[in-house]
Structure 1
Amino acid sequence: MMSKRQLFHPPSKPNQAGFTVIESLMAIIVVSILMIGLSPVIVLSVATRVQARRVERATQAARTYIDGLQAGTIDFPLHTVPVADATNKNSFAVIGAPNSSVNLSSCSGNTYCQNTASESLYCIDFDDDGGCTSDSLIDMIVQGYRSVPSGTGTVTSPENSYFLGVRVYRADAFSGGRTLTAGTQKATFTGGTGLSSSEAPLVEMTTEVNASEVNYQNLCDRLGGCN
C-alpha cells in the first residue's frame, strides 16, 4: 500500500521559455540597424540595373536609326555639319544638345519629331503607344546630324556617303524646361546612385553611312573634297 507521501506530487512550475519584451525589442533594433546599413547597397544595385537597361534601350534605338538610314527606310537628317576631312571630326564634338522645348505631343512613333537644318530629332516609340511623350520612361529621342564637305556647299543627296553623329536621350528629358547636355556626361553613373543625369545622352556615337553606289565623287565628298 502506497503512503500518502508517495501519492502526493507537487504542481510543476510553468514553462518560462521564450522571448521577453526587451529581448524582442533588441532583436528589432538589431535588424533595423542591419537594414539601414544594407539599404544603400540595395538601392545602388537596383538603380544600376535600371540604368543599364536604359543604356541598352538607347543603344538599340541608335542602331535602329542607323540601320534605317543605311537601308533607306529613314530619311537622312537635314542637320548638317561641315567637315574638312575624314580625319578631323572635331566639328561633330561641338554640336550642341537639342532644345528640350521641342513639343513631343505631335511626335508620331518612329518618325522625325523635327528635321531641319538646325535640328533633327527622331522618335523611337518603345512603349508602342503611337508616339513619343515627355512622360514616358522608355521612349527615346535620337538626335542625328551628318557631315557635309566644308567649302563645297551642302550635300543634300542621300546617295552620297557621309559621317553620322547620333545622340540618344530619354523622352522624359524633354519636359519641365530642362537644359539638355552633351559630351562627357553620356551614359555615366553619377552621384553614387547608379543613375545618370536625365538631361545627359544615354548613348553618343559616330559612324559612317555609305553611298548605295560608291564612286570617285562620293569618296571626294566624304573626305572633304579632292584637289
Structure 2
Amino acid sequence: MIQHKQQQNNPTSSESGFTIIESLVAILVAAVLLAAIAPVIVLATATRVQSRRIELATQAAKTYIDGVRTRAIPPPASTSTGVSLNASDAPTVGSLTCNANQYCTVPATPADNLYCIDGDGGGCTIASTKDLIIQAFRYNTASTDAKAGYQLGLRVYRADGFNSDGSLRKAPLKQTTFTGGLGDRKAPLVEMITAIAPQSTSFNDLCNRLKDTGNTTSNTACN
C-alpha cells in the first residue's frame, strides 16, 4: 500500500522575494546616486558639444582665410583702425540675410562685413544653432587697395548670437571650451589675425602693413 505524505509549507523558505519596503529603499538609493552623478554627466556633455563647436569655428576661419588668399573669396570691404582685434567693433545684432558660404547682405554696414558658413543647409539665420558667422576686416596703413596686401582679422560668431537679446562681444572676451551649459552665444568662438600678402612683396610693403599708427613709440620709418 502506497502512502502519500502531505507536503507541508515552510514559512522560512529561502525563496521569498523582496518586500515593498525593500524595493522602495533600493529605488531611493538609485535615485540619490543618479542625482549625484547627473551634474558631472551634464558638464561632460556640454563641454564636448562646446569643444566641437569651437573646432568647427576654427576650421571655418581657416577655410575663409585660405579662400581669401587664393582670391576664391573676395576680401572684406571693411577696414580696421588698428592691428589688434579690439580695434574693430563687434557686429550689430538683428536679422540676417545670408546665402550659404557668401557675404551677408543684411546687416550691410561697414563694421558688419559678415560671411556666412552654412551648417544646416538653409542659409545663415538667427534661429540656427549650427550656422556660423565670420566677421572679417582688413588693416593697411599704406593703401586702401585690398590687392596691396593687408592684415586680415576675423571673429567667428554663432548665428543664434545675433538674436536681439543683448549685444555681441569682442576681444578680450571669448567663449571657453569648458562649460556647464549652452555657452555664451554673444562672445566669439574664435578670433584670428593673419597677413594676406600681395603678389609682389617688399620689406617696405610689409613694414607699412604691420606698423600701428596708434603707437607712436614703436613706429619707425619704412625706408
Same fold (TM over 0.5): yes
CA distance, structure 1, for counterparts of residue 131 and residue 148 of structure 2: 30
Superposition deviation, residue 201 in structure 1:
0.5
Superposition deviation, residue 32 in structure 1:
0.1
Superposition deviation, residue 212 in structure 1:
2.3
**What percent of counterpart residues are identical?**
43
- Aligned match of 1:12: 9
SS at match of 1:23: helix
CA distance, structure 1, for counterparts of residue 195 and residue 132 of structure 2: 22
Match of 2:128 among 119, 125, 136: 136
Q: How does 1:28-177 map to 2 (within 5 A)?
A: 28-83=27-82, 89-90=83-84, 92-101=85-94, 103-104=95-96, 106-114=97-105, 116-129=109-122, 131-149=123-141, 152=142, 155-177=143-165
| Residue-pair matches, total | 210
CA distance, structure 2, for counterparts of residue 218 and residue 157 of structure 1: 12
CA distance, structure 1, for counterparts of residue 27 and residue 68 of structure 2: 60
- Aligned match of 1:208: 195
Q: Which structure has the highest strand share of the two?
A: 1
| Cα RMSD (Å) | 2.3
CA distance, structure 2, for counterparts of residue 184 and residue 220 of structure 1: 26
CA distance, structure 1, for counterparts of residue 22 and residue 172 of structure 2: 53
SS at match of 1:165: strand
- Aligned match of 1:86: none
Q: Which runs of 5+ in 2 are unaligned?
A: 212-220
Superposition deviation, residue 116 in structure 1:
4.9
Superposition deviation, residue 137 in structure 1:
1.0
SS at match of 1:201: coil
Q: Which runs of 5+ in 1 are unaligned?
A: 84-88
- Aligned match of 1:222: 209
CA distance, structure 1, for counterparts of residue 172 and residue 204 of structure 2: 35
Name the amino acid aligned to 1:43.
V
Structure 1 residues 67 and 219: CA distance shift in structure 2, 3 A: same
